[in-house]
Structure 1
Amino acid sequence: MKRSATGGPIAAAGWVLLGVPLLTALIGPLLAGPASSDAGALHSPGADHPLGTDELGRDVLTLALGGGTSIVTMTGAALLLSYLIGVPLALLTVGGRQWASRLLLRLLDSLLALPGLLVLLVLAATGRRGTGTLVIAIAVLQLPAVVRIAQGAALAPGCGTALEAMTMQGESRPRARFIYIGRSILGPVAVDAGTRLNLVLYLMASANFLGLGLSSTATDWAVLVELNRDALFVQPWAVLAPAMLLVSLCAGVNLVVDGALSRRRTVRT
């Protein structure tokens, strides 16, 4: 058995990048003080405010410490919900009735044709707001792609052969489909989840800016980036602090997944 030449460093860098925003989201609110300030809007960094103030005159460091819980929780919930629904649906289409599989895929394809931002705009215009609505809407928008990815991995020749062999040995098709094939597609699904996190974060940020999930005065990282973007060259830390935490979260997840898959490939060889 050989050790991966890249899996260790990649995973280590990924865990560092992932750990910073996650720890900030977890313990940051406990360390954050009051965000209100007397320094005024877009005040430059100083002794009283190490990262300055934002457009509403709030301390940027305090906002960065306390603004991760909502975006991390909502993004994780939407991503997890899309895979909890999408992967079982994909597995049901493998070896099942062809007409049912085709009908399901056609329905999902019609959903895939809907632009995500357009759906969020319609929800905002009709007054359907709230974090729960936002999480469910974004999870549903991810379903077509998740089902396609999982189904493509499940239709690999090795999976089909194993399914037939287990069926001939007396194993029920549902059990073989969900247990054996479910394990075999974990790699592609994990890679897709790492990259899909970026899209979910983008939709969350856009929706929060529209007021669909959180108000424009919330301390959420995504809201802070949108709120202060016009002041990027005046007080850059008001944008860079929450933006770097979001970038670190996305990059960390992708590197951790890449490192884990690299080690898994090495073990198999």
Structure 2
Amino acid sequence: MRRTAVVRRAARACGPLLLALPLAVAMFGPYAASWAASPDGAPYATGAGHPLGTDGMGRDVLTLLLRGGRSALGAALGAVALAYLAGAPLGLAAAVTRHRWLEELLLRPVEVVQPVPSLLVISVTAVWWRGQPLAIALAVALVNVPAVARLVRAAALDAASSPVVEAMRQQGESRLRILAGYVGRSVVPVVTADAGTRVAGAVFTVAAANFLGLGLEPTAPDWAVTIAASREALLVQPLAVCAPAALLVMFTVGLNLVADRLVRRTRQRPPAARESHRIRTDAARSGGGAR
């Protein structure tokens, strides 16, 4: 038991620590790179003012790491945020509606995109908007909207058909109150758990697109682009590949650990208990006023 408790405490502490470093590099790295930048040197050189060596074009790897976090993580986080902004309302509306035709109208159009491979969508997008992080984020968000909508709908079906919702309808609560106040809160644990894995998948997709040359330009200071440009010299200059790869791994692992911890906290008191308590309280107050 003690060993299990120690492992859990270590996992709780490791999650924020693993997540903090890549996020700090992505947020403050560009500002630090302005005064910590080193002049270009020989290709795949080590030392000589380059703590992490240089890449194939002689650029300082540390400078590339400081400048490449925003495009590597920003596109993935933005894509997942856009996917939830578009897919979550569709899933919630499809769960609470009592009309089958309306549910089909909400979900069928977005399901057309679901069988399409994500890299195919990104490759088509790259034909018009090559080298634009926003275009990559929009493409990744588009392929994630159907999965988000179906997940939120499935998670909200039980809450939408619960006695609590029927009681709220009988009390004259608005649909927006029911949708956002109770049904929306009931899917928070599921969405939190899904967000951790979905962001990790989006990071992988964005990195794969940049690695394959479908996203940013080959000279862009991006972590995945740096890995792709230096992979042939892995044995000569391993830090050019291992350093950005380590930051990507730290971000995905740390995010999943933090998401798991948030899920455990949100499950401590389900929204059904909170809303049932509120309904009973309102009913008691109204009954007391009638007397």
Compute the TM-score of the two structures, normalised by the length of structure 2.
0.83
1:94 partner SS: helix
Structure with bigger helix share is 2
1:119–1:35 distance in 2 versus 1, CA, 3 Å:
farther
Is the counterpart of residue 128 in structure 1 residue 101 in structure 2? no
Counterpart among 149, 153, 156 of residue 154 in structure 1: 156
Counterpart among 189, 205, 209 of residue 203 in structure 1: 205
Which runs of 5 or more residues in structure 2 are unaligned? 271-291
Partner of 1:85: 86
1:50 partner SS: coil
- 1:26-45 per-residue CA deviation (whole Å, 9 max, x = no partner) reads 2222222335422x1112x3
Which of structures 1 and 2 has the bigger CA Rg? 2
User: Structure 2 CA distance, aligned partners of 1:60 and 1:123?
Assistant: 29
Which runs of 5 or more residues in structure 1 are unaligned? none
Deviates more, 1:127-136 or 1:81-90: 127-136
Residues 133-144 of structure 1: matches in 2 within 5 Å?
Answer: 133-144=135-146
1:194·1:254 contact (CA, 8 Å) conserved in 2? yes
**Paired AA for residue 86 in structure 1:** G
User: Structure 1 CA distance, aligned partners of 2:211 and 2:128?
Assistant: 15
Residues 55-134 of structure 1: matches in 2 within 5 Å?
Answer: 55-96=56-97, 97-124=99-126, 126-129=127-130, 130-134=132-136
Counterpart among 177, 180, 184 of residue 178 in structure 1: 180
The alpha-carbon deviation at position 123 of structure 1 amounts to 2.1
1:48 partner SS: coil
User: Structure 2 CA distance, aligned partners of 1:217 and 1:136?
Assistant: 22
Name the % identity.
Answer: 44
**Paired AA for residue 128 in structure 1:** W
- 1:193-225 per-residue CA deviation (whole Å, 9 max, x = no partner) reads 100112211221233345554211111112111
1:112 partner SS: coil
Counterpart among 183, 188, 191 of residue 189 in structure 1: 191
Compute the TM-score of the two structures, normalised by the length of structure 1.
0.89
User: Structure 2 CA distance, aligned partners of 1:9 and 1:164?
Assistant: 44
User: Structure 2 CA distance, aligned partners of 1:120 and 1:26?
Assistant: 25
Partner of 2:285: none
Partner of 1:50: 51
2:113 partner SS: helix
**Paired AA for residue 260 in structure 2:** D
Deviates more, 1:17-26 or 1:205-214: 205-214
User: Structure 2 CA distance, aligned partners of 1:9 and 1:151?
Assistant: 35
2:245 partner SS: helix
Partner of 1:262: 264
The alpha-carbon deviation at position 21 of structure 1 amounts to 0.4
Partner of 2:288: none
1:10 partner SS: helix
Partner of 1:229: 231
**Paired AA for residue 122 in structure 2:** L
User: Structure 2 CA distance, aligned partners of 1:222 and 1:76?
Assistant: 15
CA RMSD, Structure 1 to Structure 2 (Å): 2.2
